Copies of this chain bind each other. A is one copy, B any other.
Amino acid sequence: MLTFDRTSVLLNGKREFLVSGEFHYFRVPHEDWRRRLRLFREAGGNCVATYVPWLIHEPVEGGIVFGDRPERDLAGFLEAVAEEGLMAICRPGPYQYSELACNGLPEWLCENYPELAAKKLDGSPIHRGSVSYMHPGFLERARRYFRAYADVVRPFMASRGGPVVLTQLDNELTGIHVWFGSFDANPETFGFGREDGRYPSWLRRKYGTPQAMNEAYGTDFASFADARPILSQGDVHGVADERRRHDFALCYYRQAADYLLTLRDWLREDGIDGPLSHNASGSVMSTYFQEACADLAPDFLLGSDLYYTLGQGWGGSNSPTPHYYIDSLFSLDSLRALGMPPAVLEMPGGSPTDMPPILRNDLLACYMANLAAGMKAVNYYVFTGGPNFGETGTTCDIYDYNAAVHADGSLNETYYAMKDFGAFLRAHPELLDMHRVASVQLGFDFDWLRSRGWFSPSKDELDGGHAFDFIQHGLLYTLLCSRYSAEHVDLAGPLDPARPLLVGAAATLSAAAQRNVADFVRSGGRLVITPSVPVLDEDFRPCTILADAICPFRLEARQRPDAPVIAEGRRLYGGKAPRFFAEIPEGATPCATDAATGETIAFERAVGEGRVVVSTLYGNASHYDQCIALESLLDRLGAKPAASSSNRSVFTSLFESPDGSKRALFALNLYSSPQSTDVTLYRDGVPCPPVHFDLQAMEVKYEVRRTKDEG
């Protein structure tokens, strides 16, 4: 039995790493199932995952078939899995991707029912094999497939002593819409033109009357039924349009949650119990599932997929670079903010292409970096492949995927990366209940990522997208090179009064989050906010709850090219040019000035029981001076350092057991040359003797330390 909390998964009530490998019974040759399952167990695996493709099991409409041939023998596969002492995750879709024709949907569904397709606002289909989730015609057909699926799998559920511990609902939901065009606006699904339609109903719940809606949108729709959304950023001209676009995004996310609820209900009706999961396609997309996480709790486990490359045209990197690690940190922290254990549900087990290749050291570094970021559960995609049967594959006949075990059964060198990692996990159970030590809370607003379009009333304030980029590649990258560690926290969620809160703020911040942060400060919290203070709420309406609390102030637009001076006269290089305050509150202490004019560009003041630094500093991390500057601001607020690396390009990640008796340190070299460093750990602000690390290219080292070692 698999359960979970925000710390990790539990297997039969005991904390354990979930180490799963994707293993497709419909591709891996039947006669080699057992040998490969054992190979995975020997590599440290305790679970396998598989899609159960509708495409393969209902080749002709109405002709659902399981077990007639090895490639459709799901039951036989689950038996083998159980007999090899492994657990299983089933992923019955309906949508799957997996480089399958029609993304794993039946060919007949896509060909014969064009009305079920996800559609752009002009009615054109978004993509072949991309359906409109809540279209009744789609649901009707998917329902039949789910019933047949349940009939096969029910006996294999963990509750009945079987291997199936987790069932995944759909796959990378919303991705197939967003990547190929826009959110789905299928008119039937969203009920345009019908007063009881999904979109009109959503609008009624939010606005009550068409008049209120028209006032918000600057439109003159006669009714909710007449209303139409805006989907594309290009169609947004001003804040009213942006509100209309943003509302539809919320309606769309609500629809995605409803879809997951529907699939859950089907499974439950048919006796599929146990936890359910979903894999968001990457860190940003996991924020789209806020409603789903709330509604499906406590049985719902959201994880995300984190690849570093899917081929040279894909936009990633050839190896797990600092940018990849930064993405992983956000992914796992934001999952925890959603109540989830930090899980990577698709971790590269290979790559669909050969260029760049997936190499052993890179892959091990990728796994170790995710572990250093807090990961407690993983599913490798894929552990092994095999031939696609019939015409079910899109990229190739042989689905090799450069996997740990090749399609032909031979071992890839990357198998040994997986095996090394498996051995590491077995050797280090202490990590299971340890948490990453974070000096600083790095605030984010889910809506900055969910809004997908982004609005800012002036060029002096950031839109949500730019604020997030600043958080990741400005603030977090800088902190990774500093002695302060960071954890992403939801600004609308619980905040820890013991640690400073650092906010790279957008112009918009929900009223609830503004209130939450204001309360945090007034009751004794410490806050650094930069480069401005939010002025709008989640509906893009004026809202200065936070500004009113911490400091009513105004920025001037004027910008200068000069380097600012931080704190003790140290110049800050490489950030963007400073902007100025039009007014500084009385009694505030300047803590950064413009080098040329001496004007204040950051100040500190007391607010209630707490303290706040308001700053205009902004920019990508570029120079180590920025680390020193940020350290200086955080020093003012009494932040506690975690670990400092003499070589700032070697990152550290410090873990601590719940009782504080044991600590463990990761030292990460995520660059392609060897690096050395001396790492000084701090205990309650006091430095311990430094430890030396020599690291090869793309190497992550780990060391457990006991309190007595640190004297």
Measured CA separation A623–B393 after assembly (Å): 15
* Nearest-CB residue, chain B, relative to A573: B396
Measured CA separation A357–B649 after assembly (Å): 7
Residues on B with beta carbons closer than 8 Å to the beta carbon of A321: 318, 356
Residues on B with beta carbons closer than 8 Å to the beta carbon of A563: 395-397
Please choose the segment from A57-65, A421-429, A669-677 that sits at the chain B interface, where 4 or more of its residues have CB less than 8 A away: A669-677
Task: Give per-residue flags for A412-426: 1 if the beta carbon is below 8 A from chain B beta carbons, else 0.
Answer: 000000000000000
Q: Are A620 and B397 interface neighbours, CB within 8 A? A: no
Measured CA separation A101–B562 after assembly (Å): 10
Q: Decide yes or no whether A355 CB sits under 8 A from chain B.
A: yes
Q: Decide yes or no whether A477 CB sits under 8 A from chain B.
A: yes
Residues on B with beta carbons closer than 8 Å to the beta carbon of A101: 561
Q: Decide yes or no whether A109 CB sits under 8 A from chain B.
A: no
Q: Decide yes or no whether A311 CB sits under 8 A from chain B.
A: yes
Q: Are B574 and A356 interface neighbours, CB within 8 A? A: no
Q: Decide yes or no whether A621 CB sits under 8 A from chain B.
A: yes
Task: Give per-residue flags for A386-409: 1 if the beta carbon is below 8 A from chain B beta carbons, else 0.
Answer: 000001001111100000000000
Q: Decide yes or no whether A698 CB sits under 8 A from chain B.
A: yes
Residues on B with beta carbons closer than 8 Å to the beta carbon of A394: 561
How many chain A residues touch B (CB < 8 A): the figure is: 52
Q: Decide yes or no whether A648 CB sits under 8 A from chain B.
A: yes
Nearest Cβ distance between residue A368 and chain B, in whole angstroms? 13
Measured CA separation A355–B574 after assembly (Å): 11
Q: Are B622 and A355 interface neighbours, CB within 8 A? A: yes
Residues on B with beta carbons closer than 8 Å to the beta carbon of A355: 322, 477, 481, 621-623, 649
Determine which of B313, B323, B562 lies in contact with A473 in the assembled complex, contact meaning CB atoms within 8 Å: B313
Residues on B with beta carbons closer than 8 Å to the beta carbon of A359: 649, 671-675
Task: Give per-residue flags for A557-590: 1 if the beta carbon is below 8 A from chain B beta carbons, else 0.
Answer: 0000111000000010110000000000000000
Measured CA separation A446–B541 after assembly (Å): 53
Q: Are B317 and A574 interface neighbours, CB within 8 A? A: no
Measured CA separation A621–B697 after assembly (Å): 26
Known contacts A671-B359, A696-B697; decide if A354 and B622 are in contact (CB<8 Å): yes
Known contacts A312-B473, A313-B473, A697-B696; decide if A671 and B357 are in contact (CB<8 Å): yes
Measured CA separation A378–B172 after assembly (Å): 48
Residues on B with beta carbons closer than 8 Å to the beta carbon of A312: 322-323, 473, 477, 620-622
Task: Give per-residue flags for A593-628: 1 if the beta carbon is below 8 A from chain B beta carbons, else 0.
Answer: 000100000000000000000000000111111000
Residues on B with beta carbons closer than 8 Å to the beta carbon of A241: none
Q: Decide yes or no whether A646 CB sits under 8 A from chain B.
A: no
* Nearest-CB residue, chain B, relative to A359: B673
Q: Decide yes or no whether A632 CB sits under 8 A from chain B.
A: no
* Nearest-CB residue, chain B, relative to A361: B673
Determine which of B318, B620, B673 lies in contact with A313 in the assembled complex, contact meaning CB atoms within 8 Å: B620
Q: Are A356 and B322 interface neighbours, CB within 8 A? A: yes
Q: Are B672 and A319 interface neighbours, CB within 8 A? A: yes
Q: Are A395 and B574 interface neighbours, CB within 8 A? A: yes
Residues on B with beta carbons closer than 8 Å to the beta carbon of A357: 649, 671
Measured CA separation A291–B159 after assembly (Å): 77
Residues on B with beta carbons closer than 8 Å to the beta carbon of A561: 101, 394
* Nearest-CB residue, chain B, relative to A480: B355
Q: Which of A361, A397, A398, A673 has the most CB of B within 10 A?
A: A673
Q: Decide yes or no whether A516 CB sits under 8 A from chain B.
A: no
Q: Are A353 and B574 interface neighbours, CB within 8 A? A: yes
Q: Decide yes or no whether A435 CB sits under 8 A from chain B.
A: no
Nearest Cβ distance between residue A234 and chain B, in whole angstroms? 12
Q: Decide yes or no whether A461 CB sits under 8 A from chain B.
A: no
Q: Are B649 and A673 interface neighbours, CB within 8 A? A: no
Q: Decide yes or no whether A362 CB sits under 8 A from chain B.
A: yes
* Nearest-CB residue, chain B, relative to A321: B318
Q: Decide yes or no whether A360 CB sits under 8 A from chain B.
A: yes
Determine which of B352, B571, B620, B672 lies in contact with A698 in the assembled complex, contact meaning CB atoms within 8 Å: B672
Residues of A459-508 whose CB lies within 8 A of B: 473, 477, 481
Nearest Cβ distance between residue A281 and chain B, in whole angstroms? 20
Known contacts A396-B563, A571-B396, A648-B354; decide if A319 and B671 are in contact (CB<8 Å): yes
Task: Give per-residue flags for A349-371: 1 if the beta carbon is below 8 A from chain B beta carbons, else 0.
Answer: 00011111101111000000000
Residues on B with beta carbons closer than 8 Å to the beta carbon of A473: 312-313
Residues on B with beta carbons closer than 8 Å to the beta carbon of A311: 620, 622
Task: Give per-residue flags for A81-96: 1 if the beta carbon is below 8 A from chain B beta carbons, else 0.
Answer: 0000000000000000
Residues of A311-350 whose CB lies within 8 A of B: 311-313, 317-319, 321-323
Residues on B with beta carbons closer than 8 Å to the beta carbon of A697: 361, 672-673, 696-698
Nearest Cβ distance between residue A483 and chain B, in whole angstroms? 16
Determine which of B354, B391, B395, B673 lies in contact with A319 in the assembled complex, contact meaning CB atoms within 8 Å: B673
Measured CA separation A395–B674 after assembly (Å): 28
Task: Give per-residue flags for A673-711: 1 if the beta carbon is below 8 A from chain B beta carbons, else 0.
Answer: 111000000000000000000001110000000000000
Measured CA separation A493–B356 after assembly (Å): 33
Residues on B with beta carbons closer than 8 Å to the beta carbon of A319: 671-673
Task: Give per-residue flags for A290-305: 1 if the beta carbon is below 8 A from chain B beta carbons, else 0.
Answer: 0000000000000000
Nearest Cβ distance between residue A573 and chain B, in whole angstroms? 4
Residues on B with beta carbons closer than 8 Å to the beta carbon of A313: 473, 620, 622
Nearest Cβ distance between residue A335 and chain B, in whole angstroms? 25
Residues on B with beta carbons closer than 8 Å to the beta carbon of A573: 395-398
Measured CA separation A649–B563 after assembly (Å): 44
Measured CA separation A253–B223 after assembly (Å): 58
Measured CA separation A474–B101 after assembly (Å): 24
Measured CA separation A672–B696 after assembly (Å): 10
Known contacts A359-B675, A672-B672; decide if A397 and B571 are in contact (CB<8 Å): yes
Nearest Cβ distance between residue A350 and chain B, in whole angstroms? 13
Measured CA separation A362–B359 after assembly (Å): 18
Nearest Cβ distance between residue A309 and chain B, in whole angstroms? 11
* Nearest-CB residue, chain B, relative to A323: B312
Measured CA separation A623–B396 after assembly (Å): 10
Q: Which of A571, A674, A697 has the most CB of B within 10 A?
A: A697
Pairs A–B under 8 Å by Cβ, sample size 9: A311-B622, A312-B622, A356-B649, A359-B672, A391-B596, A395-B573, A396-B623, A397-B573, A673-B698
Given A362-B673, A391-B596, 5 more pairs with CB closer than 8 A: A322-B355, A353-B574, A355-B649, A362-B671, A396-B573
Chain A interfacial positions (CB closer than 8 Å to B) = 101, 311-313, 317-319, 321-323, 352-357, 359-362, 391, 394-398, 473, 477, 481, 561-563, 571, 573-574, 596, 620-625, 648-649, 671-675, 696-698
